[in-house]
Amino acid sequence: MRKIILLLILFTPLFTSAQIRDDVDASRKWFLPDHIKLQFAGNIGFLSGGPGYISKNRTLETDLLFGFLPQKFGGDALVTTTLKTTYSPWSIPVKSDYYIKPFSLGFYLSYTFGTQFDTKLPSHYPVGYYWWATSFRSGAYIGGKVGKDLTFKNRQRSLEMYYELGTYDLLLISYVQNTGYLRPSDIVNLAIGVRLGF
Amino acid sequence: MKNFPKALLLIWGMTLTACEGVFQYNPNQVIFKENETNLNQKNIDRIQAIPLKDTVRFILMGDTQRWYDETDAFVKSANSQKDVAFVVHAGDISDFGLSQEFKWVNKIMVKLNCPYLTVIGNHDLVANGPAAYQKIYGPMNYSFEYGHNKFIFINTNSREYVFNGEVPDINWLQSQLADNPENKNAIVVAHIPPFDGDFDPNLQDDYSGLLANDKNVKFTLYGHQHTFKDGEFYNDGVHYYLTTAMGERGYWLLTTWKGGYKAERIEY
């Protein structure tokens, strides 16, 4: 039962967004999401997905993703919410409907649920005993994407696939203090995903 | 361009198989390879297969937490010592309790010429640390015998359990000390020494008393305070040794024989 609820939480944004897409025409309400994303890996879940917005000049995307890592794949079942923003300054048209956004730079802040994680140091520790929060993680990544313009039900839409090479705060500080033993590749991991714009 | 999705899938599949760990799902995931599980028992098996000599020599080191460069240098120093049967890690293997940190430390420690054993530290109990530690190393309390020695490893990180009176497990320690029919040197190893503020104050007397009242206990080994310390802190005939952190680049070299031992402080 818990698994079903979690899956619903994970995919609810997809269903609601799909509905919205069909209901509106050219005069879209400003608060409706501009796209949905589904991502694999990237330290915010085995799979994560959710709605997001893009700036008017189509370079800055901001997403709210709900991620889930099943026990089977992760050794522990973990639910994560992530606020993520990606800047992709260049879009290069390729052929008629395709384009490449060769470079993206982004940041995220994630929150993982669980009684073993805390945001404020519990009172049984002296002040400053552990300096970091275990529930929140912040990370950064670079990446790129390829996209295709689609026309569907008389609306211009787009489908993009993206990859991201990222790391997060605790790995970065580990690397910075151990540049002799650790290599940059030791702290970098890969994420891939799709973005459906509408 | 049409084949792009196919190509991407292919690349994805190849990356998945080629580079283990290239995809990470959560910093707190508990994913280990087969050769990264139950390492304490596997290494005990290796130690017990080493032919016995009259003396047993081992190294006490600890607090590798976020000191990978220094731990790497430690391995070189340890490998230059003669006749070391094994290395004991006194805890705080990781700093943030992340599986990734345990993997990094293990990757360094397997370069030792001998097996190594660990006891859990307070930093190893942060976040999903308990699950990660038990997956890669095994139970938090365990013991084994080698030659004239009985080594007892015990979780003494009371503060991580809000001083609930159950850590360290006094009853378990008592039964381990009692189960020593051949009167071997009983060597208790833990992360936090009983006179530290992170040790349950209500259990300090019980714990130190157990060691003092056992004639087989001559000395006992700890980490945690990031500085060398040694002495009979309770004036009860039990000598406490604390090893320093890897950041301070030091460790103890211990040699034991029937009824005696020697401890040397090494800096590298």
Complex ipTM value: 0.90
- Please give the mean pLDDT across all residues of chain B: 95
Which positions in chain A touch B159 (Cβ < 8 Å)? 124-125
CB pairs under 8 A between A and B: 112
Could you tell me if A132 and A101 are in contact, meaning their C-beta atoms sit under 8 angstroms apart?
A: no
Q: What is the DSSP string of A23-84?
A: H--SS--TTS-SEEEEEEESSS-SEEEEEEEE-TTS-EEEEEEEEEE-HHHHSS-EEEEEEE
Which of B20, B25, B157 to probe the A interface (max A CBs under 10 A)? B25
pLDDT-derived band at A2, boundaries 50, 70, 90: low
pLDDT above 60 (res A16): no
B78: helix, coil or strand? helix
Contact assignment for B66 to A177 by CB distance below 8 Å: yes
Contact assignment for A69 to B25 by CB distance below 8 Å: yes
How do residues B203-255 score in pLDDT, each as one tens digit?
999 999 999 999 999 999 999 999 999 999 999 999 999 999 999 999 999 99
Q: How far is A7 from chain B (nearest CA, A)?
A: 16
How do residues B86-128 score in pLDDT, each as one tens digit?
999 999 999 999 999 999 999 999 999 999 999 999 999 999 9
- pLDDT above 70 as % of chain B: 93
pLDDT of A24? 43
How do residues B78-94 score in pLDDT, each as one tens digit?
999 999 999 999 999 99
Q: How far is B265 from chain A (nearest CA, A)?
A: 25
- Please give the mean pLDDT across all residues of chain A: 90
Phi, psi (degrees; rounded to nearest 5) at B204: -60, -45
Nearest residue, CB atoms, B69 vs list A41, A171, A180: A180
Contact assignment for A116 to B162 by CB distance below 8 Å: no
Nearest residue, CB atoms, B25 vs list A73, A146, A180: A73
- CA B77/CA B197 separation, integer angstroms: 32
DSSP state of A149: E
Phi, psi (degrees; rounded to nearest 5) at A122: -60, 155
- CA A39/CA B129 separation, integer angstroms: 26
How do residues B46-65 score in pLDDT, each as one tens digit?
999 999 999 999 999 999 99
Which positions in chain A touch B67 (Cβ < 8 Å)? 177-178
A10: helix, coil or strand? helix
User: How distant, in Å, are the alpha carbons of A128, B190, B198 from that of B122?
Assistant: 15, 11, 9
pLDDT above 50 (res B150): yes
Contact assignment for A41 to B23 by CB distance below 8 Å: yes
pLDDT above 60 (res A9): no
pLDDT of B13? 63
Could you tell me if B82 and B52 are in contact, meaning their C-beta atoms sit under 8 angstroms apart?
A: no
This prediction has a pTM of: 0.90
Look at residues B257, B179, B219 and name the one whose alpha carbon lies nearest to residue B60: B219
B64: helix, coil or strand? coil
B18 touches chain A (CB under 8 A): no
Which positions in chain B touch A69 (Cβ < 8 Å)? 25-26, 29
Domain ranges of chain A: 2-197
